[in-house]
Amino acid sequence: MRVRFGLLSTAAINGAVLGARSADASFELVAVGSRDGARAEAYARTHGLGRAHGSYGDLLADENVDAVYIALPNALHHEWTMRALAAGKHVLVEKPYTRFPKQVDEAWDEAERRGLVLEEAYMWRHSAQTRLMLDLLPRIGEVRAVHSTFTATLAREDDPRWVQELGGGALLDLGCYCVSAARLLLGEPDGVHGEARIGRGSVDEHFAGTLRFGDVVATFQCGFTSPLVDEIEVIGAEGVLRVPHAFVNPPGVVLLNGEEHRVEPGNAYGAELEDVCAAIRGERSVLLGRDEMRNQARTLAALLIRRRLQPP
């Protein structure tokens, strides 16, 4: 039986999940919940969803929903994940789950106690392109340096990314991918440093960070006031890997010493939903489990207060 997902909010990013529907998928999207009943109704009609709920609570009370996709402003992820788990729903929740490692453990404790699946939606980690990058990595020898950039221009005036209380700011929205990339390539950092340019709403509109992994230092830049750049460069003792479009709709291209390597890109949003479904069926654990989520939160927390980390 297909896993019946409900969309918790009418967020813009839902479009990517709606676009991942297919006849042979292990999931179906059956309902939406919004703070506004009329918005939920219109959304359900437009996107062919069976049921519309005028509150998130009503969506969670829907017995014909097995799992929810939570795409809320960042500061609301933990609260609604806890409520969803308490209602017996599996959860796929958008990145960054939280900047508080303790909240990761609270959520995982609750999920495990209830036998439910929880995963943080770092879609790029599920892409075929990211696997290609990892496959090519040994060919550049020992990694000497990693640099990544994720910048984009925010179009909407009322974007929650400009609101500090909603978990706004470039580090949490975009830099979290750079942190995810550095950790994927190098392990867990033992020291971090960050510099921010503070902008509208007192959020970091641009953030530059360093993460130290023993002798190797990874650097990154992220921000809301420049054109789209989402790339990773890995410099090894014997070569260089570049991923020119690492995070947004990965096209399946990695450069090894300037030579193009390609893979069929597939649909990374579909792949992450399939990962949750496979875990629900008991076939495997989710790709991004408790430790991954906690270490991501721990690193973001340290960068936000720009201090040295304690050992894990």
Catalytic positions, please?
A: 95
Question: For residue 211, which of 290, 146, 166 has the smallest C-alpha distance?
Answer: 146
94 binds ligand NAP (CB under 6 A): yes
Nearer to ligand NAP, 246 or 256 (CB): 246
| Least spacing, CB of residue 265 vs ligand NAP, in Å | 14
CA distance 159 to 191: 32
Nearer to ligand NAP, 256 or 268 (CB): 268
Strand (E) or helix (H) holding 260: strand 259-262
Pair 246, 231: CB distance under 8 Å:
yes
107 binds ligand NAP (CB under 6 A): no
CA distance 282 to 240: 39
Pair 217, 211: CB distance under 8 Å:
yes
The total of other beta-carbon atoms located within 10 Å of residue 57's CB is: 12
The pattern of x and - marking residues 169 through 208 that bind ligand NAP according to CB under 6 A reads ----x-----------------------------------
12 binds ligand NAP (CB under 6 A): yes
Collapsed DSSP state (helix, strand, coil) of residue 106 = helix
Distance of CA 237 to the CA centre of its chain: 30
| Least spacing, CB of residue 136 vs ligand NAP, in Å | 23
* Residue 213 tokens, joined: 């992994």
Q: Which one of 35-43, 104-112, 199-207, 231-239 is the stretch in contact with ligand NAP (CB under 6 A)?
A: 35-43
The number of residues that bind ligand NAP (CB under 6 A) is 21
Q: Which one of 44-52, 65-73, 126-134, 217-225 is the stretch in contact with ligand NAP (CB under 6 A)?
A: 65-73
Q: Which one of 31-39, 104-112, 144-152, 299-307 is the stretch in contact with ligand NAP (CB under 6 A)?
A: 31-39
36 binds ligand NAP (CB under 6 A): yes
Cα dihedral: 135, 237, 217, 130 (round 10):
-10
Question: For residue 70, which of 104, 119, 36 has the smallest C-alpha distance?
Answer: 119
Strand (E) or helix (H) holding 273: helix 268-280
| Least spacing, CB of residue 163 vs ligand NAP, in Å | 7
Nearer to ligand NAP, 160 or 236 (CB): 160
CA distance 230 to 208: 14
The pattern of x and - marking residues 139 through 168 that bind ligand NAP according to CB under 6 A reads ---------------------x-----x--
Note the residues at the interface with ligand NAP (CB under 6 A): 9-13, 34-36, 39, 71-74, 76, 94-95, 121, 123, 160, 166, 173
